[in-house]
Amino acid sequence: MHFFEFTEEQKMLRKAIREFVEAEIAPKAAEWDEQDACPVDLMKKMGELGVNGIFVPEQYGGAGQGFVARAICLEEISRYSAGLGIAMMTHHMGPYPILLFGTEEQKKKYLPDLCSGKKIGGLAVTEPGGGSDFSGQKATGEKKDGGWVLNGRKCFITNSHIADVTVLTAKTGVDDKGRNKLSAFIVEKGTKGFEPGRKEHKLGLRGSVTGDVVLTDVTVPEDALLGKEGGGAKIGMEAIGEVGRAGMSAICVGILRGCVEEAVKFANERVVYGKPIAKLQAVQFEVAKIRADYEAARLLTYYAAGLKDAGIPCANEVATAKYVSTETAVASSKRLMDLMGGYGVINEYPVGRFLRDALASIPSGGTSHIMQIIMAANTLSGFQP
């Protein structure tokens, strides 16, 4: 991609995904939201389109198309269902660390099924003690009889009840400064003592499953360790920092596009004083502001994804994109709601869902405060335009 233009391959991908989304997702999105039901079979079916392993190289069963392509998929899905968007985006957090840090055996064992849609992935890092306090995790991993025994509880985990392969972090020691040393593990569904726990009832991003993952004397073999012992913080932060947040950003670009499209539709259809409200200049200003939010979020999101594809460190750009996309998705969906008058609060229209989904996107993958801390640190340590 240039900064402002998709490649022909990316345009073809967008067309194919859009057709699929309009046929399979758009008609059902409101129902999934209302019933808080995750369409797992449909999610698996998207493996056939290449979505589930979009950035994974073809040699491991993926589509080999990178992170701009991934953002295209997530924007298109989330235009209609941000709930399914976060389920898919978190699925990607399973294969990503395996691809980056796994042994050849681990890649061959897990990636093809995660890409084809046969298996669903997940990443479990957050604990009841706090998600922002990443290093304060209490789940433990102890070496025993040539393997590991894992104990603890993770919370707010997307795909908690549907993931077949979960990458999780646990404390496996303390360094000489007394700080926790975390390690990452790959745990398969059905492993004794590894159970989904409480399921959350969420305000937004419904249609994705969010809940606890409970570890009670879970015994895994030595080769369940992902990367180096003590390397879990790096693995977790890289997965969340450059893939989780980038995913949330693309999801909110989808919500913002929904706001633009619904604003145009409503403003042209709603007639007051004998003419469509699109003729009122105050309404035009609101439409323009929603469009500006969409364009800003879109450019930041695809720019950060382009850097990732080019192998350029992009944690700051991803944090900026996540911050702007999530916050403007909240602002624009509220703006659209106001523009629609009484209709804005009627559930027949998707705008209420847009607002709830945007609000729920703010903590997911790290709060706006944490994004600002990253952006401020980057800026104050030597801003170079």
Ligand X SMILES: Cc1cc2nc3c(=O)[nH]c(=O)nc-3n(C[C@H](O)[C@H](O)[C@H](O)COP(=O)(O)OP(=O)(O)OC[C@H]3O[C@@H](n4cnc5c(N)ncnc54)[C@H](O)[C@@H]3O)c2cc1C
Backbone angles phi, psi at 25, to 5 degrees: -105, -50
Residues 197 and 212: beta-carbon distance below 8 Å: yes
Nearer to ligand X, 10 or 78 (CB): 78
Q: Could you say whether residue 369 binds ligand X (CB under 6 A)?
A: yes
Nearer to ligand X, 126 or 333 (CB): 126
Which residue is associated with the tokens 């304060």? Answer: 136
Nearer to ligand X, 151 or 367 (CB): 367
Ordered DSSP codes for 267-285: HHH-EETTEEGGGSHHHHH
Strands 180-188 and 225-226: antiparallel
Return the residues of window 158-177 that contact ligand X according to CB under 6 A: 158
**Which range binds ligand X by CB under 6 A, 105-113, 122-130, 179-187, 288-296?**
122-130
Nearer to ligand X, 116 or 367 (CB): 367
Ordered DSSP codes for 82-137: HHHHHHHHHHTTTHHHHHHH--HHHHHHHHHHHHHTSS-EEEE---TT-SS-GGG-
Q: Could you say whether residue 125 binds ligand X (CB under 6 A)?
A: yes
**Which range binds ligand X by CB under 6 A, 99-107, 123-131, 144-152, 311-319?**
123-131
Rounded CA-CA distance 383/57 in Å is: 34
Query: To the nearest whole angstrom, how small is the minimum distance from the Cβ of residue 126 to ligand X?
Result: 3
Rounded CA-CA distance 71/242 in Å is: 12
Nearer to ligand X, 140 or 367 (CB): 367
Q: Could you say whether residue 136 binds ligand X (CB under 6 A)?
A: no
Which residue is associated with the tokens 């589509």? Answer: 63
How many residues bind to ligand X according to rule CB under 6 A? 23
Nearer to ligand X, 129 or 313 (CB): 129
**Which range binds ligand X by CB under 6 A, 108-116, 288-296, 349-357, 369-377?**
369-377
Q: How many CA atoms lie within 13 A of 385 on its CB side?
A: 0
How many residues comprise the chain?
385
Return the residues of window 208-267 that contact ligand X according to CB under 6 A: 210
Q: What is the DSSP letter of 179?
A: P
- Single residue of 15, 22, 130, 203 touching ligand X by CB under 6 A: 130
- Single residue of 95, 97, 211, 366 touching ligand X by CB under 6 A: 366
Query: To the nearest whole angstrom, how small is the minimum distance from the Cβ of residue 221 to ligand X?
Result: 23
The DSSP element (H or E) to which 104 belongs, if any, is helix 104-116
Closest alpha carbon to 116 in 191, 58, 166: 58
Rounded CA-CA distance 274/277 in Å is: 9
Return the residues of window 88-117 that contact ligand X according to CB under 6 A: 90
Return the residues of window 187-216 that contact ligand X according to CB under 6 A: 205, 210
Handedness of CA 48, 50, 51, 55 (dihedral sign): positive
Nearer to ligand X, 83 or 306 (CB): 83
- Single residue of 13, 46, 98, 157 touching ligand X by CB under 6 A: 157
Query: To the nearest whole angstrom, how small is the minimum distance from the Cβ of residue 144 to ligand X?
Result: 25
**Which range binds ligand X by CB under 6 A, 156-164, 306-314, 321-329, 377-385?**
156-164
Return the residues of window 283-342 that contact ligand X according to CB under 6 A: none
Nearer to ligand X, 78 or 364 (CB): 364
Nearer to ligand X, 24 or 36 (CB): 36
Query: To the nearest whole angstrom, how small is the minimum distance from the Cβ of residue 249 to ligand X?
Result: 14
- Single residue of 81, 106, 126, 249 touching ligand X by CB under 6 A: 126
Q: Could you say whether residue 365 binds ligand X (CB under 6 A)?
A: yes
Closest alpha carbon to 159 in 96, 205, 116, 209: 209
Closest alpha carbon to 134 in 367, 354, 326, 380: 367
Query: To the nearest whole angstrom, how small is the minimum distance from the Cβ of residue 261 to ligand X?
Result: 24
Q: Could you say whether residue 120 binds ligand X (CB under 6 A)?
A: no
280-300 b/e (C-beta count within 10 Å ≥ 16 → b): eeebeebbebbbebbebbbeb
Q: How many CA atoms lie within 13 A of 247 on its CB side?
A: 27
Residue 86 CA: distances (Å) to CA of 158, 263, 275:
8, 24, 39
Reading the block at residue 68, the tokens are 């701009």
**Where on the chain is the footprint of ligand X (CB under 6 A)?**
90, 123-126, 130-133, 156-158, 205, 210, 360, 363-367, 369-370, 373
